[in-house]
Structure 1
Amino acid sequence: PLTIDQMKTAIDDLAEQLKSEGKLTSPREWRRRSAAFGLPGLDLPKSVGGSDWNAKQMLEVFRHAGRYNLNLRDVVGGAHGRPVVMMDSPIAKAALQKLVAGEAYFAVAITEEDAGTDTKSMQSQAVRDGGGFRLTGSKLWNARLRQATHVVLYTRSAEGSPNAQSVFLLPINHPGLEIVDRYAHGLTGNSFGGLKFNNMYVGPEYLIGKDGDGSKIFEKHFLYWRLMQAAAAIGCGERALEIMAERIRQRHVLGGPIGRFTHLQQPIGEYLTKLRMAAALAREAARFYDQGNYEAAEPLVNGIKAEGVEIALAACDAAMRVHGAVGYSREVDLGDRVRDLMGLRIADGTTDVMRMTVVREQYGFDLWEMSIRGYSVAPPRERE
């Protein structure tokens, strides 16, 4: 097994190779070629061929990958294939073997046109059909479907409460599954779009966990996933500050380097300190997660997902502005950073919702209920 530093070096070497080939942002190339040093299975159990690295170790790997490109956050570890470990079917075992070998790439489809943060508004439905299910619905605003070999698909459950959900692992070419394409401002190397499916038959061997377990699976997986996305964002912002520091050393205006203008130095100090603070908080959250103390980890993770991404975005924006016109071009590695961080502030839990959950978890659930409860406002005369 590699150490964390050895893993970083292996990522550096592969990044240079892929960059020279024009394939730096190709997730399939990353997964295929990084299997040689164990990157795809890094956080999967040894029972499926992984290395069983814990969250604290993985945090540093995601952070390092984010230095190159924020889309590399999806090429580290099992990613959305992690919940599949719960399955015991031959289909799942084969998919995990391919994942560890770098031959598979998993996407996830939860959001719908009218169901994002409010997952209870999900309309995609599973209905029992003998031992299997019939799935009907659509998904939208999902990334990486065109590059994926498999998709983890969430629907309303066939049985149980109306708000219960179920989750399935499907090959992307499953009969009846149609990909719908949309345009994204970022996600270089990846697609953006959704899925359509109507009365699609799915056998019981594709169900992850039990019917109705979807919410539980979502909460545990995305607690980990949000933490790792924040780590990648931190690395993305840290690299942007290095690019910014080099710019103010080299760019000469009015007879000298622009670094002599100290107001251009101050954002580097400010955002570097804030990113390091976010990294320290992320390590604390990872420690709680590894201990199985998810209740303590959750407010930290949600807070880091919000503030870590926002700080990284501010750092990249500052780096872009100090470059002037060239900062808005593809001559420097900043445009994708800004665009992808703007997407990440929405994906996997928006900044505003994450902040609300921090308040809820720290100060009481009544504040959350107050924010989402429907109130009937009386006309002005009645209020008087």
Structure 2
Amino acid sequence: MDFDYSPRTKQLQSQLREFMDAHVYPSEARYWQELDANTQAGRRWTPLPVIEELKGKARAAGLWNLWLPESEYGAGLTNQEYAPLAEIMGRVPWASEVFNCSAPDTGNMEVLVRYGTPEQRKRWLEPLLAGEIRSAFAMTEPAVASSDATNIEARIERVSAGSGDEYVINGRKWWTSGAGDPRCKVFIFMGKTDPSAPRHSQQSMILVPADAPGVKVLRALSVFGYDDAPHGHMEVDFANVRVPATNMLLGEGRGFEIAQGRLGPGRIHHCMRTIGLAERSLEAMCRRASNRVAFGKPISQQTVTQERIAEARCMIEQARLLTLKAAWMMDTAGNKAAKAEIAMIKVVAPTMACQVIDWAMQVHGGGGLSQDFPLAQYYAHVRTLRFADGPDEVHRNSIAKIELGRHAA
């Protein structure tokens, strides 16, 4: 593996850093001011002008849809080339949306690029690529352990109608990220089309317009007290929702196939953004430790602080190298060959970041728990990633099975 970044990546890294310095970091305070103003006005789930303004600047600068490897739609970068860019964006939790590189839209667009029909791409992909609408992914359910996706109980049933065949959709979903945003216009919904089929052929994915009769957002779920407005993680009820049969993705029974194609690159993105947050938290930790005095000397001179700073640097470097290796393997050998590495980074990166952020909060004292610093929000955000796209336990189980298989008699 060549650990050097490609010339294209280096150029885009420079452009991204300049953009972040000039536009994103100076807008962080404004982001919170606009969100607070929306809350006071009773319109918390309203897009923030600051992000919309920055989107225009990012697009004009050519920093748009960088995550898409298909040059027809995006920048044409490999996973390994895009990964360092995701790290830079990840230093500010909301920044990736500025570049139209944020979840769940990236994964949903990837599904449409690879599995959508021309009509589906025209209706949903094109406005998503333009940043005009947003989307949501409806898979997890409150009534079952959704870490085992074969447990999913939602139904997608085909019926005949006067205007042609339709599907009737019923199910209760939660942790449907993005469904609170009023710009959310479409859901990718996972449910069972044939409960009698083999376990991994029962599920299908289908496109559901957000304004379809029977779709109801019930509530926002908070994460350690944060509701992540205006994006949000929602509980959504689908009651006798009818959509045309042409909304089916790829074909009945192919939901798991789509899910696996969707999640590989997305895990690279998540992990590199997480590493970006960890880097920023370590920077904040070092600055705070150098500027505060306790028990007669700067906190930076306390041995325990130095130990944690050193350990944090080691952990970040290890996580980055492993993530870059996974990206490289996906590019050179394919997602299947990189299965173990993808599972490993999904465990390693959020666990590492949680620890680094925790140490940074400790150095900040009581302030680290408050809204005066972003660390508490960082922690809540990263802790969710130990569940998103499958909990740690599922990934560890996969890693162990692969390892055991290597040494089986």
TM-score by length of 2: 0.82
1:118 corresponds to 2:148? yes
Counterpart position of 2:5 = none
Residue 381 of structure 1 is matched in structure 2 by: none
Alignment correspondent of 2:314: 273
Distance in 1 of aligned mates of 2:254 and 2:406: 23
For 2:406 and 2:48, the matched residues in 1 are separated by: 40
Write out per-residue CA displacement over residues 210-256 of structure 1, whole angstroms, 9 at most, x where no aligned residue: 11111001012112212221111111111101000001110022443
| Structure 1 vs Structure 2 CA RMSD | 2.6
Whether 1:80 and 2:108 are equivalent positions in the alignment is yes
Match of 2:24 in 1: 15
Q: Which residue of 1 aligns with 2:228?
A: 188
CA distance in 2 between counterparts of 1:253 and 1:318 reads: 16
- Report the 3-state secondary structure (helix = DSSP H, G, I; strand = E; otherwise coil) of the residue aligned with 1:290: helix
Query: Could you tell me how far 1:121 is from its partner in structure 2?
Result: 0.9
Deviations 1:114-150 (A, max 9, x none): 1411111111111112333111111112222111232
Q: 1:263 aligns with which of 304, 311, 333?
A: 304
Alpha-carbon distance in 1 for matches of 2:352, 2:232: 26
Task: Say which SS state the counterpart of residue 221 (structure 2) adopts.
Answer: coil
Partners of 2:170 and 2:240 within 8 A in 1: yes
Quick one: distance in 1 between partners of 2:48 and 2:84? 19
- 1:135-171 CA distances to partner (integer Å, 9 max, x unpaired)? 1111112222111232211111258715321112233
Q: Identity, % of aligned pairs? A: 23
1:67–1:239 Cα contact (<8 Å) kept: yes
Pick the aligned partner of 2:347 from 306, 325, 343.
306
| Unaligned runs of at least 5 residues, structure 2 | 1-7, 36-46
Cα distance in structure 2, aligned partners of 1:61 and 1:204: 39
Aligned-partner Cα distance in 2 for 1:36–1:360: 47
User: In the aligned structure 1, how far is the partner of 2:71 from the partner of 2:315?
Assistant: 39
What do the CA deviations read for 1:157-198 (whole angstroms, capped 9, x no partner)?
258715321112233222321112133123533212222112
1:105 Cα offset (Å): 1.6
d(CA) in 2 for partners of 1:187, 1:37:
31
Q: Per the alignment, in what secondary structure is the counterpart of residue 128 of structure 2?
A: helix
| Structure 1, unaligned runs of 5 or more | 368-384
Superposed displacement of residue 275, structure 1: 1.2
Q: Give runs of aligned pairs for residues 91-240 of structure 1, distance below 5 A.
A: 91-113=120-142, 114-130=144-160, 131-147=165-181, 148-158=184-194, 161=197, 163=199, 164-185=202-223, 186=226, 188-189=228-229, 190-240=231-281
Alignment CA distance shift 1:101-1:12 (3 Å):
farther
Of 176-185 and 294-303, more deviation after overlay is shown by: 176-185
CA drift at 1:292: 4.6
1:52 to 51, 60, 76: 76
How far did 1:80 drift? 2.7
Instruction: State the SS of the aligned residue for 2:337.
Output: helix
Cα distance in 2, alignment partners of residues 212 and 37 from structure 1: 42
Picking from 15, 18, 22, the partner of 1:6 is 15
Report matched runs for 1:285-304 at 5 Å: 285-304=326-345
Distance 1:306 1:45 in 2: 25
Q: Which residue is 2:86 aligned to?
A: 62
Please tell me the residue identity of whatever aligns with 1:65. M
Query: Structure 1 120/335 Cα, relative in aligned 2: closer, same or farther at 3 Å?
Result: same
Contact 1:73 1:229 in 2 (8 A): no
Of 28-37 and 303-312, deviating more is 28-37
Letter in 2 for 1:336: Q
Aligned residues: 366
Measured at CA, do residues 62 and 339 of structure 1 come closer, stay the same or move farther in structure 2, by a change above 3 Å? same
Distance 1:87 1:277, change over 3 A: same
Shift of 1:293: 2.0
State yes or no: 1:241 paired with 2:282: yes
CA distance in 1, matches of 2:209, 2:65: 19
Q: Distance in 1 between matches of 2:246 and 2:66?
A: 25
Q: Which 10-residue stretch deviates more, 307-316 or 219-228?
A: 219-228
Structure 1 length-normalised TM: 0.87
